[in-house]
Structure formats: C-alpha cells, structure tokens
Amino acid sequence: MSLTRQRNVLLVCAVVLVIFCLGLLLWHLHSRTTAASAAPETAVPHTLASSSNDTSPTTLYAHNIRLHKGPNFRIYIRWIHGQMLRTHPDVTPSFDDPDSFVLEIEKGVVRANIGDVANYLNANMPSDAALKNISIVPDGDQLKLRGTAHKVISMPVELEGTLSSTPDGRVQFHVARITALKIPIKGLLGGFHIQLADLVHATNVAGVEVSGNDIIFDTQRLLPPPHIRGRLTALHVSPPDIEVIYGDASDDDAQLAKWHNFLRLNGGTLAFGKLTMQYVDLTMIDATKDPWFDLDLVNYQAQLVKGYTRMTPQAGLEIFMPNVGDQQASNQSEISLEWLRDRNRSVPADIPASVKK
C-alpha cells in the first residue's frame, strides 16, 4: 500500500472515530436531560414552593380600634370579623403600602363621628366645589347637611334627609328637603334655580355621585386607604356618630366594651418593614387602658418601636403597642457591634426583667 493511500485510510478512521465520540457524547447528554425532566417534583419541598406564593386570604378580627385613614379621618371599629385581601394577585399585602390590601368585612359594627365626616369633607373638597363650609347636624334619625352654595351669589343651604345603603355597598343620602336662605325649595327647584346637582358636582368630587334626589358616597374612593368594604345591612344616626352594620352583626355595646382592644390576623402572607410573615399569626394589642386602641396602619412603625414584641410558642407575634402620637420618649436603642463585643455591658434597660433572669 502506498504511503499516500495509508494516510487517506488513517484520516478516514480518525474522522469516523471523532464522529463516534461526538455521538456518544450527545447520547449521554440527552440521557441526562431526559432523566432530569422525568425526575419527581418532590426534589423541591412542596411546602416551600406553595408558601412562597401563598395567595390565601388573611383572617381578620378586631375590637375597639380607632383606625386612622389618612391624616384627616378616623373610623371607630367596635368589632369586625372578615379578611384582609390582596388588591393585586402578585403583590403581597403590606402595611407599608395600604393600597396593597383591602379589608373585606363579613360582619361587624363600625362608627364614624359626624363632626369628623364634616371636617373631612371640608378639608378635601376641590377649590371649585359648589358647596363649602359644610356642617352636619343630627336630627332624630335624619341628618341636616348645611353649607354655603356658590351660584351667582353665595347663600346658605340646608339639605335634610336620611341615610341608607345601596345593594353594591355604598352609602346613600336621600334628600327629602332643600332650604336656601331659609326658604324651602319645592321639588328641589326654586326662584334661584338651584338643583341638587348644583350643590354636589359628581364630576369634581371623587367618590360622590348625584342621582335624582340622592347623594351616593363610595367610601372606597372618597376615603384614603386602607379601604373597607362589605355587605352593609343597616346605617343608623346615633349621635355623635353614624353607625354602620355589616352582615348580621350584633351591637351589644356594654359587652363589647369589656373586650381588650386588639387587631388579630391569621393565615396568608403579610409584609411589614423588612419582614415578610407567612402563615400569618400576628396580634396587635393596645398597651393602654383607653376605651379605644388608636392605630395607624400606614404609620405603624413608630408605634412598634415604642411597643413590646414577643414570640408565641406557635411562632406567632404579639405586639403590645402605645397609641398614635404617644410622645413618651423611648429608651430603645439599636444593639451595636461594640456592645456585642463586650459581655460585661448590661442588657438594655427597656428589656423586661423576666427576660434578663
């Protein structure tokens, strides 16, 4: 065999060997990929996978809470039972983002101070609102809404009517009588050509709609978060408050006043500050003896810093909190690295004595 032919044979053998090796390599890689895809999913713990995307609702219980809704309004929760629901499926509810959740009330009793309602309306009316300087006066089971109407000339106006709920959970104020310059206006029209729509513009007051002789308030749009919704079954004028009943709630005020003031959350996922709590087990408790637990969920952190937190045997958290605006100086200070390096330094003074033993 000539030298040239031998070289050609060797070259062909080498090429065949390389192709064979590549074939073995590709087959091996394919086998590993197939095996990995066929491997059971139990390689990743199911509990971890589900808990990281836990969208289940958080059960809510609350008693005797004065809940701040923005800087200019508060509601008084005598008691409620419901759920904290996320407003976006992929966003974890967070106290740091009050728009991330809504409080869905199954049943309960909530009150709003009539004077607070008037003050809130005055503080949040747009500059071109037709009715200003609003005051609200209870009159038996009715309300009298007084203000100054601006149409051609300024004149005092009084709307008298009753409160009720709409099927979709809004608050309806049915106007039975309008008085301008202390003169009744028949059929809501008179010599000054004032109509109900002139007094409350549905187009420039968010959450307020005028329909016939009714002013309808959508509290979820009118009031700042955290928003509350639920099936309203009754509204009562109970001076100095307006009382709202959700579901088949009972209203035994004497018994309800005996309960501690607290907010309790169970289940689901909740974020607050740097923490995200899964399978929520959180109770916020009023540390004072006041009739109402003054709670501002939007600015909760200042209350937490001045309070006392402990973990339960079930890995839950109990937080005893002072009222909003409690100016008592806090002795709490952050533990520094220097403190950790010296075991002779005393435990901080704000740590309870039972923990130091």
Band of residue 115 on the pLDDT scale cut at 50, 70, 90: very high
**Range with the lowest mean pLDDT among 234-248, 264-278, 334-348?**
334-348
What would the mean pLDDT of 154-165 be, rounded to a whole number? 88
At 313, list the tokens: 């045997």
Is 331:350 a contact under the CB 8 Å cutoff? Answer: yes
- Residue 32 counted as domain residue: yes
What would the mean pLDDT of 94-113 be, rounded to a whole number? 93
pLDDT at 300 over 70: yes
- Residue 165 counted as domain residue: no
What is the structure's pLDDT at 17?
43
Q: How many CA atoms lie within 13 A of 166 on its CB side?
A: 16
- Residue 25 counted as domain residue: yes
If one counts the domains in the chain, the total is: 1
- Residue 33 counted as domain residue: yes
Nearest to 217 by CA among 180, 242, 185: 242
- Residue 186 counted as domain residue: no
Band of residue 107 on the pLDDT scale cut at 50, 70, 90: very high
- Residue 357 counted as domain residue: no
Q: Write the DSSP string, 244-309.
A: EEETT----HHHHTTSPPEEEEESSEEEETTEEEES-EEEEEE-S--SSEEE-STTHHHHHHTSEE
Task: Give the C-alpha separation, 321 to 299, whole Å.
Answer: 13
What would the mean pLDDT of 216-231 be, rounded to a whole number? 86
- Residue 229 counted as domain residue: no
What is the structure's pLDDT at 20?
44
**Range with the lowest mean pLDDT among 210-219, 227-236, 330-339?**
330-339
What is the structure's pLDDT at 37?
43
Is 262:63 a contact under the CB 8 Å cutoff? Answer: yes
Q: What is the pLDDT of residues 326-346, one digit of tens each?
A: 645 455 667 788 878 888 888
More confident residue, 312 or 254: 312
Band of residue 180 on the pLDDT scale cut at 50, 70, 90: confident
> In 10 A of CB 166, how many CB atoms?
14
Residue 16 belongs to domain spanning: 3-37
Task: Give the C-alpha separation, 61 to 266, whole Å.
Answer: 9
| SS3 at position 352 | coil
More confident residue, 192 or 271: 271
What is the structure's pLDDT at 208?
81
**Tokens 């006043």 map to which residue?**
257
- Residue 17 counted as domain residue: yes
